[in-house]
Structure 1
Amino acid sequence: MCGIAGVWRKRDPIGSGDLADVACMMQALAHRGPDDHDSWNNARLALGHRRLAIIDPSPAAREPMLTASGDGVLCYNGEVYNYRALRKELEAEGLTFRSVSDTEVVLQALHRWGPEKAVPLFDGMFAFAYFDARDNALWLARDRLGIKPMSVAETEGRLLFASEDKAILACADFPRRVDTRELTLRLAWQSRDSSYSVFEGIERLPPAGLWKIGDDGIEKHRYWHVLDVLKTERIAGDRVSDAEHMATLQTLLQQSVELHCIADTSLAAACS
């Protein structure tokens, strides 16, 4: 896992207080990325990243990562398992790469195809902040099932986002108050939609969430829903034998494990 953090200014320019807040958020996320850390900012946006290097641990893959032109910036946590196939498509369109990381593939895909086209193509677990200077837009996205976290807080004049609630709570002047209503609901139901935080003022980017933040505010989209892809008609008229289903399931599981084992570091298995 890696850690991402950022501050978006709605009107006023990024100031020293914003940069200090990003530094505090990065410190709060230090446990998520022991291998490297870096930050980037322009007039409206400040980004910080804590890196756990899995694919391409070289400095060429450090983040926040910029396009060669400098008008696209990515701060990313997770792994896109089909990045090699996507890279081939991008190379066929004439793009070149400086690293062998999935991070750069995600960045190039977002910058080349646009987030609304690129994100549904990503097969993996991820949460990221992508800034496109060409239209001065910040995009926040999360994987389909919400495996990788993203917390968001909108305050007077700012939008804060990070991999964990406690990073936002580390910001100066952010109220540290428990949401008693949310806490009560969790205790009563013994479970709760992960889109909600137990701290006031913090929400979670929902699974399959794709938000565009710009001068006109926040546009909230959902790029995937299980009911849209569930083939109910095929299931209802299914005449395939149990043995065939078992063979298909075994093949799918094997393919999934193989994709999850792509790494430039040592692998380990945990049984529970």
Structure 2
Amino acid sequence: MCGIAGVWRKRDPIGAGDLSDIARMMQALAHRGPDDHDSWNNVRLALGHRRLTIIDPSPAAREPMLTASGDGALCYNGEVYNYRSLRKSLEAEGLRFRTVSDTEVVLQALHHWGVEKAVPLFDGMFAFAYFDQRDGALWLARDRLGIKPMSVADTGDRLLFASEDKAILACHDFARRVDAREITLRLAWQSRDSSYSIFEGIERLPPAGLWKINDGGIEKRRFWHVLDVLETSRIVGDRVSDAGHMASLEALLEQSVELHCIADASLATACSGGVDSGLITALAKRFRPEMHGYVVDPK
């Protein structure tokens, strides 16, 4: 659970106030990344990162991470579980790596293949900001299901983005105003539209959101939709037995949990006492026998 923060200047260059805001944003996100922190900026963009080390704890894997040429920059939260296979594909095309992190694989894939080709290949949970100096474009992206968060605020002359609302609220010129309409919807209708914050002026990058920001403004896209991949033949009209469905489900769960167990750090689960968290813990123990499970003491 890393933390990312950024300030994009639409017209004027990045100044001392922007860098001060990045420091404030990073402090607001300190709980998300206690292991390391760093920042980077150029004329138009300032990025900050709080790191929670999961894969490759070496200093070489710290963020924001730059390409060897210096014309690509990545600030990334999450994990792409198929990074090893993606790395092999990139190496087959002549690319070389200086770390064993998934961060560098994501950066190299975005820079070498292009954002629109690379992002749909990522299997995982992620939110990132990627800047391509070759065309001056900033890209913001969020995983298919919106597991990793990304909040965005357009203040007119700046675009602010971060892993949590509180980081944007920490900026010196951002007014803290509660959105009464959103509060009403949540309390009255139990509505929780993931596109909106309870604070005025802050919106959320939607699940599978892929935004391109440059001098022309913001181009909002989605790189995936569940209806495009839904296999109705597996639901309607098939003749697979209940036992067959159970075997398929178990295989899919095992595959997913095994991928989630990739880490260079110790792992644990937080169990609610329900069947689902217990099942995931049991499956994880197959791949990480040293796995610990924790429950909250009701007393």
Shorter-normalised TM range: over 0.9
Aligned to 2:203: 203
Quick one: which amino acid aligns to residue 174 of structure 2? F
Which consecutive unaligned segments of at least 5 residues does structure 1 have?
none
| Corresponding position: 1:244 with 2:247 | no
Aligned to 1:30: 30
The 5 A counterparts of 1:1-272 are: 1-272=1-272
- Aligned CA-pair RMSD: 0.7
TM-score normalised by L of structure 1: 0.99
**Distance of 1:45 and 1:177 partners within structure 2:** 26
TM-score normalised by L of structure 2: 0.90
Quick one: which amino acid aligns to residue 200 of structure 2? E
**Distance of 1:112 and 1:184 partners within structure 2:** 46
**Distance of 1:260 and 1:233 partners within structure 2:** 28
Deviation at 1:37, TM superposition (A): 0.2
Aligned to 2:288: none
Moved over 4 A (4+): none
Quick one: which amino acid aligns to residue 188 of structure 1? A
Deviation at 1:269, TM superposition (A): 1.9
Change (3 A) 1:271 1:234: closer
**Distance of 2:250 and 2:232 partners within structure 1:** 22
Quick one: which amino acid aligns to residue 153 of structure 1? A
- Percent same amino acid among aligned pairs? 86
Quick one: which amino acid aligns to residue 19 of structure 1? L
Which consecutive unaligned segments of at least 5 residues does structure 2 have?
273-299
**Distance of 1:269 and 1:50 partners within structure 2:** 22
Deviation at 1:234, TM superposition (A): 4.2
**Distance of 1:270 and 1:155 partners within structure 2:** 38
Deviation at 1:233, TM superposition (A): 3.6
Quick one: which amino acid aligns to residue 16 of structure 1? A
Count of residue correspondences? 272
Higher relative contact order (CA 8 A, sep 6+): 1
Change (3 A) 1:247 1:234: closer
